[in-house]
Structures are given as C-alpha cells and as structure tokens.
Structure 1
Amino acid sequence: MNISDLKGKKITVMGLGLHGGGAGAVRFLSLSGAKVTVTDIKSKEELKPSLEKLEDLKDITYVLGQHRTEDFSKADMILKNPAASWMDKYVKLAMDNNVPVEMDSSLFFKLCENPIIGVTGTKGKTTTATLIYEILKSAGKDAIKVGIGQASVLDKLEDLKKDTVVVFELSSWRLSALGRSKLSPRVAVVTNIYPDHLNYYKSMEEYANDKKNIFLYQARGDVCVINADNEIVRGFEKEIKPKPVKFSKNKISNGNSVYLENGSIYFNDGVDERKVVDEKDIKLRGEHNLENVMAAVGAAWAAGVELGAIKKAVLKFEGVAHRLEVVRELDGVKYVNDSAATMPEAAISGLNSFSEPVVIIAGGSDKNLNMDEFAKTLAEKAQVIVFLKGAATDKIILAMKKADPSLVDKEFAVADSMEKAVELARREAKEGDVVLLSPGAASFGLFLNEFDRGDKFKEAVKSLK
C-alpha cells in the first residue's frame, strides 16, 4: 500500500479523542487526499481541544455525539481508536460489510517500507524504545520515534528517508491490529509481561496473546529480543521463529545474549563475550532499568550498531519523563515523578529503587489487578503513604488491613486532587526523604491520563514555597 492509494477513499475515523493521536490521524488522511468522516460519541464541546487543531482543514465531515451505521457500512476504510473494542457493534458492522478496519499501527506498517524496531512489554516500553532511538542517533543513523507518549503516529510517515530506522513503541492494543493484518516488526523487543489492563481484557491469556503479535509474523531472518528472566516471556520462546536474543540478570553462555555479571553488562554474540558498560556508570535508577538497558543493547546490536556507540549512548542516557523523573529538591527533600507506574509491579520497582526513606503518593483507579503484593510492599517500605482517591486505593487499603491486623483501625490519608496529595506529602517529609509519585494504578477519574497526572504532580511540586 502507498500513501497515494488513500486519495479519494472514504475513510471513517472512529474516535477523535483528546490525546492528539486522533487529530494527527485526521490531518494525515486529509492531507493525503482521503474523504474523511470523524465520528465520536463525545460532544463538540468535549472535543473542543482536538477540533481546534483541525480548524484549518476543509471538507471533513464531523458526526459527534453519536455513531451512524452508514459511516461504517459504506466506507472504504475504518481507522479505529485503540479504546474501541474489536467487538464493538460498529466495528463488527464494518467487518460484516467487508470494510477493512485499521488502527494507526497497522496502517503505518502497511505504508512504511523502512525497517521497524518494535518494542512492547507491560513495563519499560518507553524507556527501552527511547534508549534504542538515542543509541541509533549516537551511532549516526537516521532514526525516528513512533508511538511514544501522546504523539501522533501516521504523520511520522512524512519524516521517513530512505535509510531511516523506525523505533515503534507498541501497546497491546496496537499489536492487536498488527495481528489481524499478520504483521510484525523486523526487530521485536519484549521487555516483560505482567498482569495489566484486565479491565479491558477478559483474561491474562487474551492480553498476552495480543502481545505475541510482535513476533508471530516475523521471518526467520528477523530478530526477537526477549527477557529470559520473565516467566511469561520465557513461555513465548517456542513460538518465536528467529533465534532469539535473550537478556538476563544472570549469565547466559549460549547464543546471542546480553547479561549482567559482577556489576557489568556483557554482550555475547555467540563467539565472544564483551563488556558493554559498568552498572555503576548507568545514570538510570533501579534494577528494572538495568533490564531496559539490556533490552536496548540487544536491539541496537540487531540493528547493526557497534558496541562502542552503544556504550556512549547508554552512559549519556538520563531517562524519560514520568519514569523516576526527579522534579525538584526542596528543603533537603527530593520529589520524584513516576506517574507512568500504572500497575502494581511498576510501583514496586519504583519504591525499591530508593534506599532513602520514601513518602509515597499511590493508588487511583482500578484496572482489575491484584494489589496484594503492592499493599505488602507499601506496608514494609514506605515511610508514609498518601493515597489518591479511587477504587484501586480502596483495594490497596483493604489488602493492607487484611495482611496486618494492627492497621485495621488506621485512617489513611486520601486526597481528591494532586495539589492536596503533594501538600500532605510535603507535610510528612523530612530532610533526606524522597516524595515519590508512583501510583501502581490507573489515572482515570481524577486525571485525563498518566501524563496529565504526572504533569499535575510536577506543577504542584514546582509551586511549593
């Protein structure tokens, strides 16, 4: 498929949304000559920020506050928002009428002729993908990041040159679309798999199956980088066609691998074992970030980068926003934004990254995840806990009281805004402490998304006097 094939096509964009991706897709399709209809169950008033971004575009039909059957049954293509289920009645109507349903990921793959390094996992996707991108740039390669944060996907196609390497962060939703089109990236990276999004998926197996699409349609000459320490990912190995590149916190002697030994990261190309970097020189905090670095090293090697260039980029890399991001130090207290920790395992990793006493801001909305281990870790390691209001918070508090009878009558601090949470945390923090936002839960309800939650934390912290 070429971009020119979109010209004159009747394309329905299902879900404009407020995060930027929908507006970016509409702009790309319109400028490519497609006849675009935008449909969203949200009202014009609710979608005002996105609509303002598209005011300069003409000949776009908007159907807001509803969906019409004809926009799905009589279109040439549907571009589906990730939030819409494949079982949605309008999506099924389109497919029943042989109208192809795409997402931005599948359409990008079909229109992109450049090599793609795809990164997925429950934790560590963004850090790993960003580090791969930085390594490629450091090695003098032309590279672009796609699918990271709230940036639009399809308009990145216009930035591609003949030798551009694409680094694409792939969520389970975006991978579901690739699976339906039987597409996988040339280099696939799986950082780890843990229970997540079980408010969307019926089971853990269904979630893991979408993740598998990152490698299921690879050719034997492709590369798949996998976490040998993660039980679920190890179970994928028999389904991977290429010989995998494994990474581990323990030495791997056979095959292509990246591993940790005696405080250093090594790379084994199947013949020689060479040291890449010493752990103490890595600027990223936390054991989980060592896994992200090892995953990026394996992917960069697969992309043809020399170890010297890999080391240079790793030593410079300081991380990404909303992931153990140091915001400020005030009165001897360090404030750290880890809002991207939207699941309990991620928050546990964040909390375990500090030897200093931690005042943690945790909790929020529920994704139908088990909070028992997080509750136990909070009780054992957090000096003080300030909760954000939400169903996940209720689960965590219940689990803490169930595990420790001495907490049964304890009243926990629960804030209904980030400003209040930061105010309560500051009141409790002493010199030498860390105030850590690491929720271990979803953000919806009080915030637009985890990025909005992190931004509001940063705003509140920076306003402290």
Structure 2
Amino acid sequence: MILKEFYKNKKVLVMGLGICGGGAAVASWFSKNGAKVTVADLKSKRQLSESMMKLKGLPIKFIFGKHKRRDFVGYDLVVQNPAVPNDSKFLKIARSSGAQIENEATLFFKLHNPKKIIAVTGTRGKSTVSTLIQKILCQKYKNILLAGNIAKLPMLEAVEKINKNEMVILELSSWHLERLQASRVSPFLAVITNLMPDHLNRYSTLNRYYQAKKNIMQYQDSSDFAILNKDCALLANLEKKYDSKKIWFSKNKMIQDGIYFHNGNFFWQQNKKSSKIVSIKVLRLKGSHNIENAMAALAVAKILNLNNSQIARGLKSFSGLGGRLEVVQKENGITFVNDTTSTTPEAAIAALKTFPPKRVILIAGGSDKKLKFQNLAYEIKKSCKRVILFKGEGSIKIRKSLLRVGYKRIIGNVATMRRALSYARQAAVEGDIVLLSPACASFGLFANEFDRGRQFKKILTRK
C-alpha cells in the first residue's frame, strides 16, 4: 500500500477523459491530492463538455482533438482509461520517457488493502452479482461500498470514503484486469461469474480476453478465495491452477465445496456437509441466469460467515438493476422491457428465454464486436414475432444469420430509438413484450449502452 500523499507534485497524464465519468473522477482525485494533472483525449472540447464541467475550477491542463509525441513525454505517471488500447504507440512513448502506466483499478489496489477487496468480473452478470453482494453484506456490515465498472462510484472516489481496514466491492472489467497482472496483485476474494465470447473488437483472440479475466486470480495466495462457475467449461478446469481456495457454484450439479441449486433451494456444502440456505422464492430477479448470479453472491456471504437470515434479507432487498430486464412500462397490455446492457448474443439469448415464445418484438443490433450470431438467430426464430434492427455492422451480421435460418420478419436499418419504438408499437398486440436487448455495442447511434437505455425509457415515459 502507498499513501495518497505520494502523488503530491507528481506529473500525471490522464489518457482518455471519456464521457462516462471515470476519467473525470481520476483527474479530479489527482488534482485535489496535489498532482500536476494533464488530460489528453482525441475527442473535441465540445464532445467532452459534460465531463469537463466536473473538473471546473481545478488547475488541470487539457489537450483535445489530436495526440502528439511531445504531449506524452515528461510525466511521472500515465493513467490509461478503458478506451485506450494496450498497444497504443503513445503509451509506449510515455513509458520509454520514464512514466509509470496505471489504470484506475491498479491505483486502487495500491491505495487500499488488497486483503479487504472483494472483486467481481465475468462476461455477464458482474454488475448484478456485485450489487447482490453489497445488498447481502449490508445486513451485517455498516459501510460496504461498491465501486468500479458499475459506474455509480468511481474507484478513486471510494478511496476517500473508506479506511484501509474496511471491505470494499469492486466490479472489474477485462480492461481493468489487463494491468493488474503487471502490478502483481490480486484481491482477497475474487469472483468470476462466467466466460463467454466478447470484445473481439479489442482482443485479437478469445484466449487473450479470457486470460485478462483470469488475471483477477493470478497473484492470490492460499489464504485467498476464488469463487467460480462450475457450469462454465472455461472455468471448470481451474481446480488446480492458481494458489487460492476454490469455491464453486452450480445450478446443474451438486458441489463438494460451494453453492448448488436443487429443487428450488440454494445449498451450501463444505467438508461433505450440506445445508439449505434459502428458497428461490426470496429471489426477486427473473431468468435462470440470475440463479447463477445469486449463487455467486451467496458464496461470498458464506465465506464471510453471514447467517441465513441475513442472506435472505439481502436477497429480498434487491429487485434488479436498470437496463437489465427492466420493465419500463405496460401500455395497452403490452410490456416494454429495457435490457440495454445486453451487448452480446449470449446475453440476448438469456433475455429471450425469460419470456413466452412468439410474444416478443425484439429491438436489437448496433455496432459489431466481431461476435457470432448464429445461436441468437435460432433463439429469435423460436421466440420472436418481429425483429427491429438498428443501423450498424452488427445488425448486418444478425440479419444474415436470421435469413440463414429462414427468419424473415425483420425491419432493418433503423436510425433512431423513436423510429424503432414506433415500428414495435405497430407490431405489438395485447400480451406482447417489446424487448430492447441489442446483442451489440451501441457506438454510432448512441453515446454508450446507458444512453441507449435512457432514450428507450424517455420516449416511453414522456407524457
């Protein structure tokens, strides 16, 4: 651990201000702790005006619109934000001139005790699992903060709200974890919800993406815990890899050490002794995938010795996050559901399986992450009476996959959310579900996936 005073008078470059708030939080924290801060971003001042407002009045230098070699020389530290690829030539320039390269997560691990960090990653479910863990642990501990990729609380802001002996929950993306290995540090308690194909627009191979996720366990020792999904083939073979104690969860089989689901109940098994924790009836989340999410959170609770009553209260207190199978409105017997955080085919498949077949009008598509859509096409054919696709390369691939399986009820090349909802209303009748579950990234038509969801909700709820 290091003290935050270490950064006083250090020359810090924040590479990537962004529009989601993370870059602004990093720049603000360093400036308020006495560092000499510069922010560089390829976007224009106008595009970043909202983020800049968060830094108003702070002595920060801004470089917008273009990167030049001289702008990356002479720093003690460069903070790499998520949109910046590891092979950026400007990171190499900064490193060769003596700068240390960090990201928000590696900084947090240096500023807080890793033995007090619960970290959650995975392709799907990490936000839900992180929040479930917080809801459950709050039944025993007073000050449990959740920070990181979930975007509600930036990590460096969390540093100011806790002391070094308080537990904190971090939701970590593969981008955060890329640099954790270089820092040779891991959390006391690591959770991997699952591994599925994703982000091939960033990673050259799936193995590189999966390895970034596994970095969360790389430097755990025998006193640490790794909570892993036994039903995920890519995780099930990690029993003897890494030094941490493995705690498994499964909805399909009995587990020797961990959590399993049987006959509508969650069970905890340790040392060949099995005990019921709670019934699924206390879980308010829809979808079989949320059984897995609940089990991951229950495993954390059991490791930290919460009793079953505390666990039940925590589960009951959580009805889900926005943008994840979120029922926005019921209108003339038609249900409108916001699942904007569905950015992969597997996520959209899971969403479709929660609704009756042939009653879904699906709004999907967007930009391409180099993923395959054939399995989604088969599920759409079983589940959907109509598909409405946004403009985008991902949408083109979805359409081709649908045509291959003989599905033709497609409206394509839709440029706005308003137009998409107009088409959906025309197709829907009483008892139908209009589901926004894009299976693609949002870049191009929307600022990000959350902007996509906000537009969906705003149009529906505007009086």
**1:388 maps to 2:390:** yes
Q: How far, CA to CA, are the matches of 1:71 and 1:104 in structure 2?
A: 21
Q: Which amino acid aligns with 1:445?
A: G
The offset of 1:193, in angstroms, is 0.2
The letter of the residue matching 1:420 is: R
Q: Verify the 8 A CA contact 2:282 2:312 in the aligned structure 1.
A: no
Instruction: Determine the structure 2 residue equivalent to 1:109.
Output: 109
Tell me, in whole angstroms, the C-alpha distance in 2 between the residues paired with 1:237 and 1:205: 18
RMSD of the TM alignment (CA)?
1.6
Determine the C-alpha separation between the residues in 1 that align with 2:34 and 2:118: 29
Q: Which residue does the alignment assign to 2:22?
A: 21
Is 1:423 aligned to 2:422, yes or no? yes
Relative to 1, partners in 2 of residues 1:293 and 1:340: Cα closer, same or farther, differing over 3 Å?
Answer: same
Select 2:240's aligned residue among 229, 235, 238: 238
Deviation (angstroms), 1:431: 1.1
**CA displacement at 1:2 relative to structure 2:** 1.1
Partner of residue 285, structure 1: 286
Residue 190 (str. 1) matches residue 192 (str. 2)? yes
Q: Does 1:77 align with 2:77?
A: yes
Tell me how far apart the structure 1 counterparts of residues 447 and 169 of structure 2 sit (CA, whole Å). Answer: 26
TM-superposed deviation, 1:379: 1.3
Letter of the 1:294 counterpart:
M
Q: Matches of 2:70 and 2:107 in 1, distance apart?
A: 22
Task: Report the residue type matching 2:112 in the other structure.
Answer: C
Query: Are positions 1:445 and 2:444 aligned together?
Result: yes
Measure how far apart 1:272 and its partner are: 2.8
Q: 1:433 deviation in Å? A: 1.4
Give the total of aligned pairs: 459
Alpha-carbon distance in structure 2 between the residues aligned to 1:97 and 1:328: 55
- Which residue among 397, 400, 405 is the counterpart of 2:399? 397
Shift of 1:206: 0.6
Q: Deviations over 1:161-190 (max 9, x none)?
A: 354211100100000011111111110000
SS at match of 1:229: coil
The alpha-carbon deviation at position 305 of structure 1 amounts to 2.1
CA distance in 1, matches of 2:281, 2:54: 45
Q: How does 1:237-256 map to 2 (within 5 A)?
A: 237-254=239-256, 256=257
For residues 35 and 424 of structure 2, the distance between their equivalents in structure 1, rounded to whole angstroms, comes to 51
User: Which structure 2 residue ranges, 5 or more long, are not aligned?
Assistant: none
**Which amino acid in structure 2 is aligned with residue 331 of structure 1?**
N
* Maintained 8 Å contact 2:356/2:383: no
**Map of 1:175 onto structure 2:** 177
> Any runs of at least 4 consecutive aligned residues in structure 1 with deviations exceeding 6 A, and if so which?
none
Report if aligned partners of 2:388, 2:410 keep a CA contact under 8 Å in 1.
no
Instruction: Report the Cα distance in structure 2 between the residues aligned to 1:240 and 1:285, rounded to whole angstroms.
Output: 34
Deviation at 1:253, TM superposition (A): 4.4
Q: Secondary structure at the match of 2:389?
A: strand
Query: How far apart, in 2, do the equivalents of 1:260 and 1:355 lie?
Result: 24
Alignment of 1:326-341 (within 5 A): 326-341=327-342
C-alpha separation in 2, matches of 1:303 and 1:420: 49
- Give the letter for the 1:354 counterpart: F
Identity %: 40
Letter in 2 for 1:84: V
| Partner Cα distance (1:249, 1:40) in 2 | 45
Structure 1 residue 92, shift from structure 2 partner: 1.0
What displacement does 1:77 show?
0.5
From 217, 220, 223, the equivalent of 1:221 is 223
The answer to whether the 8 Å contact 2:121/2:173 transfers is yes
Q: Which residue of 2 aligns with 1:37?
A: 38
Q: CA deviation at 1:411?
A: 5.4
Quote the residue 1:324 is aligned against: 325
1:360 CA displacement: 1.2
Aligned to 2:433: 434
- Residue 75 of structure 1 deviates from its aligned partner by 0.5
Quote the Cα distance in structure 2 between the aligned partners of 1:304 and 1:38. 44
One-letter amino acid matched to 2:57: D
The CA deviation at 1:132 is 0.3
Q: CA offsets, 1:318-342, max 9 Å, x none? A: 0111101111111111111110000
Quick check: 2:336–2:433 contact (8 Å CA) kept in 1?
yes
Letter in 1 for 2:85: S
* 1: CA distance, partners of 2:410 / 2:316: 45
Q: Which residue pairs with 1:273 in the alignment?
A: 274
**Deviation digits for residues 344-390 of structure 1, max 9, x if unmatched?**
00000001011262111111111000011111111111122111221
- SS at structure 2 position matched to 1:237: coil
Question: How far off its partner does 1:56 sit?
Answer: 1.7
Aligned partners of 1:364 and 1:441 also within 8 Å = yes
Q: Kindly indicate whether residue 275 of structure 2 is the aligned counterpart of residue 264 of structure 1.
A: no
Give, as a single letter, the amino acid of the residue that structure 2 aligns with 1:137: C
Give, in whole Å, the separation in 2 of the partners of 1:385 and 1:36.
48
Gaps of at least 5 residues in structure 1 are none
Alignment partners' CA distance in 2, 1:417 and 1:270: 56
2-structure distance, mates of 1:41, 1:148: 22
Question: Is the aligned partner of 1:52 residue 2:85?
Answer: no
Q: What aligned pairs does 1:54-203 form with structure 2 within 5 A after superposition?
A: 54-58=55-59, 60-113=60-113, 115-151=116-152, 152-203=154-205
Q: Distance in 1 between matches of 2:238 and 2:90?
A: 33
Preserved CA contact (<8 Å) 1:17 1:47: yes
Q: Which amino acid aligns with 1:371?
A: F
Please tell me the residue identity of whatever aligns with 2:442: S
Is the 8 Å Cα contact of residues 12 and 71 (structure 1) preserved in structure 2? no
Q: Is the 8 A contact 1:226 1:244 kept in 2?
A: yes
TM-score by length of 2: 0.96
Q: Residue 239 of structure 1: SS of its match in structure 2? A: coil
Deviation at 1:97, TM superposition (A): 2.8
SS at match of 2:239: helix
Quote the Cα distance in structure 2 between the aligned partners of 1:323 and 1:354: 14
Secondary structure in 2 matching 1:265? strand
Q: TM-score, normalised by structure 1?
A: 0.95
1:128, distance to aligned residue in structure 2 (A): 0.3
CA apart distance, 1:413: 4.2
Amino acid across the alignment from 2:434: V
